[in-house]
């Protein structure tokens, strides 16, 4: 497949309502908007069909899951086919009774499923009880060929792990997409908010620099509570795309739904890697212990 030298990525920052069908309809509208404005690859935020339900453990919330293929892939596949674009959609996947994943579906320009990635790193923290809902991914780290080149997809908590980015890039990915749902616990925001947001932004840029690729982090916005008396999570938005040297090309603010449009120039990858040849200088002969959990030996 002959890749385009330049293309536009459309990153959709959106809020959610309690109605999954309403969220899907609005996602379709935003994908349509991005495609109309010239985006060739369009990415939605993590679990966009519902509020972030992992704030609590409730077996009834498994009803939010859907099969792949299913209603979301059908609706988004239609717009991908009609606009001839690639769509990246993060879904709560019902694989079988009692078996669920946090997954990404890549829909090609014919509206067909080009592949699935299942989230590999599953967090379990206050307000992020994902281990209750999601089985860890069993497909490994994945790349997908598209008309604009080979892309990689990872999901939220995956974005903190350099191994995930590296292994995806070693399969030829030229841009990493991270559908995300990340924000502040309101009681922590004043004390830790700025440093938490800076750490998140910095780690994405570091993956771009260390691997010589573009990185897109796609977040949601809004204060979401699982109950009226719950503190909830304030999702901070800040969706952005950075280039292979970590330069932020385009970025959304924290408070509004936006479609971030940014140009990806594949020649920039070549230029950066020639001058900063990290892949050339890797000591692959010395990395055997990277697969150990931890070493008690010096």
Q: Tens place of pLDDT for every residue, the chain, 298 residues?
A: 567 789 999 999 999 999 999 999 999 999 999 999 999 999 999 999 999 999 999 999 999 999 999 999 999 999 999 999 999 999 999 999 999 999 999 999 999 999 999 999 999 998 999 999 999 999 999 999 999 999 999 999 999 999 999 999 999 999 999 999 999 998 999 999 999 999 999 999 999 999 999 999 999 999 999 877 788 999 999 999 999 999 999 999 988 999 999 999 999 999 999 999 999 999 999 999 999 999 887 7
The residues assigned a catalytic role are 46, 119, 156
The domains located in the chain, with CATH, are 6-291 (3.60.110.10)
> Is residue 149 left, alpha or beta, with left meaning phi > 0 and alpha meaning psi from -120 to 50?
left
Q: What is d(CA 209, CA 247) in angstroms, rounded to the nearest whole number?
A: 9
Report in angstroms the alpha-carbon separations of 24 from 18, 39, 73, 159, 258.
11, 19, 10, 25, 16
pTM of the model: 0.96
Q: Which residue has the tokens 């090609």?
A: 108
């Amino acid at each position: 497949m002959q890749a385009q030298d330049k293309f536009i990525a459309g990153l959709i920052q959106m809020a959610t309502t309690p109605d999954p069908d309403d969220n899907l309809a609005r996602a379709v509208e935003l994908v349509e908007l991005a495609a109309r404005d010239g985006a060739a690859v369009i990415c939605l935020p993590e679990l966009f069909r519902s509020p972030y339900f992992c704030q609590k453990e409730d077996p009834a919330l498994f009803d939010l899951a859907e099969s792949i293929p299913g209603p979301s892939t059908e609706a988004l596949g239609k717009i991908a086919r009609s606009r001839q674009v690639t769509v990246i959609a993060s879904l709560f996947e019902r694989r079988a009774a009692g078996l669920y994943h946090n997954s990404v579906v890549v829909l090609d320009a014919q509206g067909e499923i080009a592949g699935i990635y299942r989230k590999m790193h599953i967090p379990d923290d206050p307000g992020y009880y994902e281990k209750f809902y999601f089985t860890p991914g069993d497909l490994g780290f994945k790349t997908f060929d598209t008309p604009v080149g080979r892309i990689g997809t990872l999901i939220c908590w995956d974005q903190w792990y350099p191994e995930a980015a590296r292994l995806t890039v070693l399969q030829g990915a030229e841009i990493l997409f991270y559908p995300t749902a990340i924000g502040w616990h309101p009681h922590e925001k004043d004390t830790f908010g700025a440093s938490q947001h800076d750490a998140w932004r910095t780690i994405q840029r570091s993956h771009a620099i260390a691997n010589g690729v573009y990185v897109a982090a796609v977040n949601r916005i809004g204060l979401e509570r699982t109950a009226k008396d719950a503190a909830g999570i304030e999702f901070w938005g800040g969706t952005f795309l950075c280039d292979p040297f970590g330069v932020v090309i385009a970025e959304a603010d924290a408070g509004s739904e936006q479609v971030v449009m940014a140009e990806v120039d594949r020649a920039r990858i070549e230029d950066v890697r020639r001058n900063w040849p990290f892949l050339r200088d890797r000591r692959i002969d010395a990395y055997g212990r990277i697969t150990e959990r931890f070493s008690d030996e010096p």
